[in-house]
């Protein structure tokens, strides 16, 4: 009995010690001040057609100028590295790649990271941004498994006399709200003053500011806003419902008409045969006599 208690005590102490050395990360969603928080980019595509999606870095965005920059030639750089996804994420078509931003948990001051395109935009690269702005493309990013969206650009003119032209947002602010050791909410705001006209031959500088703020919202309710978001509200297509209803009525009427015509023919044959079963023959009772 004493040996059993000793074994149980040793196992409990080992469990506590193991829990003490587990690092905070994106999988248990618990962090300490200064811990790295992974910021992933997912896809870009037209706002009106979410099924048309492309890799985030298919647009000529630059890599943040930090330790993850590919030109640093370090093996630990995470820029554009594909995250290992679960089976459900693979089935859902998720392909999250590291944004290259270096984000630490809950700093006291806002942190900004900037980058400038390595070279001037080529005609092809400029056309990609122009198409994204003209077609109202949005991009999707993830931080601690919380999705957040932003506009690539828009058609803009400085005054009413000037014709609108494609512009791209070059500055964005990501507001992260946390409660204790957990991230509760992520929001993204693009600065309208940062709109820059897209021209081949120009270099673009992109800036991302990370701001942290405390909140008293509980961790279990952090996805509630996505369920109530008007962004995801699906409008009822009454015309489609009416069209489907009329199609069902038409098919039911067609089947009923075929059945009625078939039954009429069967009743007519039955009446002409004098009540005998179709194809049957009459037999005299004498035929069954032995005489």
Alpha-carbon gap, residue 192 to 171, rounded angstroms? 8
What pLDDT does 152 receive? 96
What pLDDT does 175 receive? 96
Residues 40-99: tens digit of each pLDDT: 999 999 998 888 889 999 999 988 877 776 666 655 677 778 787 667 666 666 788 889
Which tokens hold the place of 73? 């030639």
Which tokens hold the place of 125? 């690269």
153-156 and 165-169 as β-strands: parallel, antiparallel, unpaired?
Answer: antiparallel
| 1 or 43: which leads in pLDDT | 43
Q: What are phi and psi of 112, to 5 degrees?
A: -115, 145
Q: Provide the pLDDT confidence category of residue 129 given band limits of 50, 70 and 90.
A: very high
**Residue 173: is it exposed, middle or buried by C-beta count within 10 angstroms (0-12/13-18/19+)?**
middle
Q: Which of 124, 153, 126, 149 is nearest to 137 (CA)?
A: 153
What pLDDT does 194 receive? 95
Cα distance between the two ends of the chain = 103
- Residue holding tokens 């003053």? 193
Q: Provide the pLDDT confidence category of residue 14 given band limits of 50, 70 and 90.
A: very low
Alpha-carbon gap, residue 38 to 179, rounded angstroms? 18
Q: Which of 102, 124, 107 is nearest to 58 (CA)?
A: 124
Residues 193-224: tens digit of each pLDDT: 999 999 999 999 999 999 999 999 999 999 88
- Residue holding tokens 């007519």? 268
What pLDDT does 281 receive? 52
Asked whether the beta carbons of 83 and 40 are under 8 A apart, the reply is: yes
Residues 234-281: tens digit of each pLDDT: 566 778 888 899 999 999 999 999 999 999 888 888 887 765 554 445
Q: Provide the pLDDT confidence category of residue 18 given band limits of 50, 70 and 90.
A: very low
Residues 20-38: tens digit of each pLDDT: 444 556 778 999 999 999 9
What pLDDT does 227 receive? 78
Alpha-carbon gap, residue 141 to 44, rounded angstroms? 9
Residues 151-200: tens digit of each pLDDT: 999 999 888 788 899 999 999 999 999 999 999 999 999 999 999 999 99
What pLDDT does 89 receive? 64
Asked whether the beta carbons of 190 and 171 are under 8 A apart, the reply is: yes
What pLDDT does 2 receive? 46
CA–CA distances in Å: residue 184 to residues 24, 94, 179: 16, 22, 7
């Amino acid at each position: 009995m004493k040996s059993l208690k000793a074994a149980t005590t040793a196992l409990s102490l080992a469990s506590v010690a193991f829990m003490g050395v587990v690092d905070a990360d994106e999988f248990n969603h618990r962090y300490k001040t200064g811990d790295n928080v992974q910021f992933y980019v997912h896809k870009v595509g037209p706002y009106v057609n979410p099924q048309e999606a492309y890799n985030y870095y298919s647009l000529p965005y630059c890599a943040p100028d930090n330790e993850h920059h590919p030109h640093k030639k370090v093996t630990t750089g995470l820029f554009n590295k594909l995250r290992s996804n679960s089976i459900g994420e693979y089935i859902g078509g998720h392909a999250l790649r590291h944004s290259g931003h270096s984000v630490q948990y809950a700093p006291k001051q806002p942190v900004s990271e900037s980058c400038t395109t390595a070279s001037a935009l080529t005609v092809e690269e400029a056309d990609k941004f122009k198409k994204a702005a003209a077609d109202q493309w949005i991009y999707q990013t993830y931080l601690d498994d919380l999705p957040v969206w932003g506009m690539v650009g828009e058609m803009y003119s400085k005054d009413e006399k000037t014709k609108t032209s494609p512009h791209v947002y070059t500055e964005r602010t990501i507001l992260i709200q946390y409660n204790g050791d957990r991230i509760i909410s992520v929001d993204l705001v693009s600065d309208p003053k940062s709109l820059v006209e897209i021209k081949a031959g120009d270099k673009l500088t992109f800036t991302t500011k990370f701001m942290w703020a405390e909140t008293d919202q509980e961790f279990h309710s952090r996805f509630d806003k996505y369920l109530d978001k008007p962004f995801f509200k699906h409008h009822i297509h009454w015309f489609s419902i009416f069209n489907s209803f009329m199609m069902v009525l038409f098919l039911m009427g067609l089947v009923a008409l075929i059945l009625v015509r078939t039954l009429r023919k069967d009743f007519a044959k039955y009446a002409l045969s004098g009540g005998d079963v179709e194809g049957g023959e009459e037999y005299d009772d004498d035929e069954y006599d032995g005489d």
